[in-house]
Chain A
Amino acid sequence: MRELALHILDLAENAIAAGAKTIQINVTEDLARDRLRIQVIDDGSGMDAETAARVIDPFYTSRTTRKVGLGIPLLEEAAEACNGELQIDSKPGKGTTVNVEFQRSHIDRMPLGDLPETITTLVISAPEIHWIFRYQVDGNEFVFDDEPIKNELGDIPLSEPGVLAYIRSVLKEGVAEIQPDPSENVLLKN
C-alpha cells in the first residue's frame, strides 16, 4: 500500500467482515506534537484478547481462501518504522478499535492519499453501514455522517449520478478546507 488511505480502506473492510453496523473513521493531524493518528472504530463481533494479539501475525487470517493476512502486519510495520505504533482494543460482542499512530514528519511516513475517494468508496458500496468520518487538523474539524443523507434520500440508491456527485463534493471540499498540505493527496513519482 502506498497511501495511508488504502490502509484505512483495508481496516474498514475488516470491520465490515466483523458484522459492524456503524463504523467510524477518525484521522487526526496533530501538527503541534508532530503526530498523525488514525482510528477505525466498529461495533462488530469483536475478538478475545488471544485473537486480537494474533492479528499482528502475518500468518493469521480469518479468510479461508488463503493462509496469510497481511493488512494489519504491514500497517504495524509502517507505523513502527515512523516512530509510531499500532494498537488494537477489542471486546467480543462489543466491537473493535484499531489505533495507529505515526510521527507525522517522519521521512518514511507514506502520504495520507485520497481520503475523499476512499470514504466515497465505502459509503457508496457498503450502504447498509452507518459511516462516520472525522478529520481533525489541530483545532479544525470536518465531520461527515452519512445518516442525514440517507434519511433525506429514502430509497434512492447512493449510486445515482446526482447523489454520487453530491457525496464526492461534500467530502472533497470538507477535507480540502482544513488539510494543511494538499500535496498529501498526490503520490510523489519516483
Chain B
Amino acid sequence: MPTVKSLDDLKKIREEALEKRKAKTTEGRAQVTVAMGTCGIAAGARDTMKAILDTIEQDNLTGILVTQTGCMGMCEKEPIVQVVVGDQEKVIYGKVNPEVARRIVEEHIVKDQIVKENVIPA
C-alpha cells in the first residue's frame, strides 16, 4: 500500500471502501474487543491490538470492527480479547500475545476456526 498523506487520498480510499461494500454479499460482520485496563496495558494489550490491526491491514480484511473496553476483572489472564462473529456466541480469549492475536483474526474470524488453546470458558 503506497504511503498516503493528503485528504484527497483519503477520498479515494473512501470510494474504494464504498465499492467493496456494494460488492459484498453475505459476508457477516465481526467485532473484536481488546481489554485496555491498566492490567491489560501492562500485560501487553497495545501490542495485541497492534497485531490485530497489522493482520487486518496486511491481509486486507474488511468488515472487522475493532473496539476496546476496560478491565474485565480477569487481570491474571490479560491480554484479553473478545470476538463476536456474525450472530454467533461471543468467545473470550486470554493470554493473547501478538502471535495468538494474529491467529484469532486469520483462523477464527476469517475461517471460523476457534483458537481453542486460548479460550476462557464461560
The chain A residues found within 8 Å of chain B, CB to CB, are 1, 6, 9-10, 13, 16-17, 63, 65-66, 69-71, 114, 117-118, 120-121, 124-126, 148-149, 152-154, 156-157, 159-166, 168-170, 173
Shortest CB distance B4–A (Å): 5
Determine whether B17 belongs to the interface, using a CB cutoff of 8 Å to chain A: yes
Q: Is the interface of A mostly helix, strand, loop or mixed?
A: helix
The 9 closest A-B pairs by CB, nearest first: A65-B73, A162-B13, A125-B68, A71-B38, A159-B66, A156-B17, A169-B3, A165-B1, A161-B60
Across-interface contacts of B72 in A (CB, < 8 A): 65
Of the four ranges (under 10, 10 to 19, 20 to 34, 35 or more), the interface on chain B belongs to 35 or more
A63 touches B13 (CB 8 A): no
Contact of A152 among B7, B34, B56, B67 (CB under 8 A): B7
Determine whether B75 belongs to the interface, using a CB cutoff of 8 Å to chain A: yes
Docked Cα-Cα span, A152 to B15, in Å, equals 11
Determine whether B57 belongs to the interface, using a CB cutoff of 8 Å to chain A: yes
A69 touches B13 (CB 8 A): no
Shortest CB distance A67–B (Å): 12
* Additional A-B contacts beyond A161-B60, A169-B4, A169-B5 (12; CB < 8 A): A9-B36, A9-B46, A13-B38, A65-B71, A121-B46, A125-B49, A125-B66, A149-B7, A156-B13, A159-B66, A163-B13, A164-B57
Closest to B8 in A: A152
A70 and B38 in contact, given A65-B73, A125-B67 (Cβ under 8 angstroms): yes
Shortest CB distance A138–B (Å): 24
B10 touches A69 (CB 8 A): no
Within 8 A of A (CB), among B26-74: 34, 36-39, 41-42, 46, 49-50, 53, 56-57, 60-62, 64-68, 70-73
Determine whether B11 belongs to the interface, using a CB cutoff of 8 Å to chain A: yes
Shortest CB distance A17–B (Å): 6
Shortest CB distance A180–B (Å): 22
Docked Cα-Cα span, A125 to B41, in Å, equals 14
